[in-house]
Amino acid sequence: MNVRVQVSMVFHLDKCIGCHTCSLACKNLWTSRPGAEYMWWNNVETKPGTGYPTLYEDQDEYHGGWEVKDGKLQLKLNTRAGELLNISYNPRLPALDDYYEPWTYSYDDVTNAPPQDDQPVFKPISSVTGKEMDIEAGPNWDDDLGGSGIYAANDPNLASLPDQQREQLLSVERIVYFYLPRMCNHCVNPSCVAACPSGAIYKRGEDGIVLVSQEKCRGWRMCVSGCPYKKVYFNWETGKAEKCILCYPRLETGQAPACMHSCPGRIRYLGVLLYDADRIEETALHADNELVDAQREMILDPFDPEVIRQAKANGVEDHVIESAQKSPVFKFVKKWKIALPFHPEFRTLPMLFYVPPLLPVTGTSNEEGLYDTSSDFFSSLENARLPIRYMANLFAAGDEDQVIRIYKKMMAGRYFKRAQSVGGAEDASIAEMLTEAATTSEELEEIYELTTLASFDERFVIPPSSREAAIELVQITLDRQEGGGMGFVHEPRRGL
């Protein structure tokens, strides 16, 4: 057992309101500069939809992530040997059109407009060419575009649904969409790291954050191709790859990442997971329908004395172990098993988990066009607007049982709480529902509290960071205190 530390995350999609505040918090802090305009380290997608960059989930096209070949794990992009041959030519790279051409406006046409015979307006200007442009795509182009024959209908995750079900998504009875916030998954088996020919990408030992060294990066962009989530970006100004850094400057000072801090839906949770690094390869080799369970197995119980012993042996500090014990992510992922990884079949072992959303019940329309809702009291598993199959394609490599088990527990929780506060449902039927969902009233109460009442400090359990010890590896800490910050800061530029 090789116990490692991962700062990990859960997104409760049932609470996500699709506001994009997370994306903008991140944009403000990290990517509002030349060369990074088009980067959205954090973005929010409308699902079903084609995403950003367009159709990134389609690995037949992009070849991101891993595949199992001859019982071995290898990059889908190419083999190690193939990579070297391919080093200067990378056909799997998304082009500008797959993202979008970033733009600004000729604002001055309005602010300092000369006298003219009609009201002035400002026009879009390409940030790449500086010329006037037609806007045909953006980073969030299909926002709220449920029921779009162009966007929603072409979601790759719908491909395995019967035609009839897909067509229904354009009708009032079944039209639906929900939101999927996305950021770097800080994977345990990151294909970006594996793909980098320069060795510039690494996973930090103390917290599992995956970083691209801005010193070592040589701009090969293999990481961009290698990441199946397309969460590594190429900065065209500095010529280096950049990606979500999980706000380590904030985390290291005890503050939640900006995207999490700023989430008004209160959907995000952060905390430490301990995992067994010896089992990474074995886990990633499982068959599609076993991947979710295998990954859960790889994650360790921080209360298990043996895990604690091995963790200490690996140099994991006491306060980090305590933090892992308080981790809300541990509860959602391992204890209650109601959060799932995104596209586990990409086999990068992503360490960001999603609680799937409950969706409104379907309706029926009669021949006069009169609409009636289905008779379920709450949104239901059977009459949910998106087929379970779709959710399973997103979060369980197609394994519907994984999704069904979670929905049953979530619905049991709602009926249980309603019975508690309104009454009405028979005790017997609630008990039956709990059994069916393989849960207990105690567990549902715990889930309820973390889902609804959790305060900032309960949602984000940030392990103390031993910065003084880390600094001591390169400099006497007292010297840092006394001279810290003195010196010249240069703007990043090509070849830094």
Question: In whole angstroms, what is the distance from residue 331 CA to residue 447 CA?
Answer: 9
Site for another protein in 19-58 (CB under 8 A): 19-21, 23-25, 27-30
Answer yes or no whether residue 470 interacts with another protein by CB under 8 A: yes
Site for another protein in 385-414 (CB under 8 A): 413-414
Q: Pick the binder of another protein from 59, 157, 262, 327 (CB under 8 A).
A: 262
Residue 426 beta carbon to another protein: minimum distance, rounded to whole angstroms? 14
245 versus 352: smaller Cβ distance to another protein: 245
Q: Pick the binder of another protein from 81, 95, 428, 474 (CB under 8 A).
A: 474
Q: Pick the binder of another protein from 7, 9, 291, 359 (CB under 8 A).
A: 359
Residues in contact with another protein, counted by CB under 8 A, come to a total of 130
> In sequence order, what are the beta bridge partners of 104?
125
CA-based nearest residue to 186, from 176, 170, 201: 201
113 versus 438: smaller Cβ distance to another protein: 113
* Candidate segments 13-21, 295-303, 325-333, 334-342, binder of another protein by CB under 8 A: 13-21
Answer yes or no whether residue 172 interacts with another protein by CB under 8 A: yes
Per-residue binder mask for another protein (CB under 8 A), 88-127, x = binder: --------------xxxx-xx-xxxxxxxxxxxxxxx---
Question: In whole angstroms, what is the distance from residue 326 CA to residue 320 CA?
Answer: 10
48 versus 399: smaller Cβ distance to another protein: 48
The one-letter amino acid at 356: P
DSSP category for residue 468: H
125 versus 404: smaller Cβ distance to another protein: 125
Contact 45, 177 (CB under 8 A): no
> CA geometry: angle at 122 spanning 116 and 125, to 5°?
130
Q: Pick the binder of another protein from 166, 231, 243, 266 (CB under 8 A).
A: 266
Residue 55 beta carbon to another protein: minimum distance, rounded to whole angstroms? 17
* Candidate segments 222-230, 301-309, 326-334, 372-380, binder of another protein by CB under 8 A: 372-380
Site for another protein in 410-449 (CB under 8 A): 413-424, 448
Answer yes or no whether residue 294 interacts with another protein by CB under 8 A: no
The beta strands (E) that lie in 151-209 are given as: 178-182, 201-203
Residue 133 beta carbon to another protein: minimum distance, rounded to whole angstroms? 9
Site for another protein in 296-355 (CB under 8 A): none
387 versus 399: smaller Cβ distance to another protein: 387
- In sign, the C-alpha dihedral spanning 182, 184, 185, 191 is positive
> CA geometry: angle at 375 spanning 372 and 378, to 5°?
115
* Candidate segments 55-63, 84-92, 175-183, 323-331, binder of another protein by CB under 8 A: 175-183
* Candidate segments 86-94, 172-180, 298-306, 435-443, binder of another protein by CB under 8 A: 172-180
Contact 445, 455 (CB under 8 A): no
* Candidate segments 60-68, 196-204, 329-337, 426-434, binder of another protein by CB under 8 A: 196-204
* Bond prior to 156 in cis (omega within 30° of 0): no
The one-letter amino acid at 147: G
144 versus 304: smaller Cβ distance to another protein: 144
Residue 143 beta carbon to another protein: minimum distance, rounded to whole angstroms? 7
* Candidate segments 221-229, 295-303, 361-369, 435-443, binder of another protein by CB under 8 A: 361-369
Residue 473 beta carbon to another protein: minimum distance, rounded to whole angstroms? 4
CA-based nearest residue to 226, from 55, 79, 64, 90: 64
Look at the block and give the residue holding tokens 């990068």. 348
42 versus 402: smaller Cβ distance to another protein: 42
Answer yes or no whether residue 164 interacts with another protein by CB under 8 A: no
Q: What's the chain's length in residues? A: 496
Q: Pick the binder of another protein from 61, 67, 98, 143 (CB under 8 A).
A: 143
First to last CA, the chain: 40
User: Residues 6 or more apart from 32 whose CB is under 8 A from it?
Assistant: none
Answer yes or no whether residue 216 interacts with another protein by CB under 8 A: yes
Helix residue spans in 271-337 (DSSP H) = 280-284, 291-298, 305-313, 318-325, 328-330
Q: Cα-flanking dihedrals φ and ψ of residue 339, to 5°?
A: -125, 140
Where does residue 182 rank: exposed (0-12), middle (13-18), buried (19+ CB within 10 A)?
buried
Question: In whole angstroms, what is the distance from residue 305 CA to residue 274 CA?
Answer: 13
The beta strands (E) that lie in 153-300 are given as: 178-182, 201-203, 210-212, 232-235, 240-243, 268-276, 299-300
Contact 320, 464 (CB under 8 A): yes
Q: Pick the binder of another protein from 377, 436, 438, 468 (CB under 8 A).
A: 377
Residue 303 beta carbon to another protein: minimum distance, rounded to whole angstroms? 25
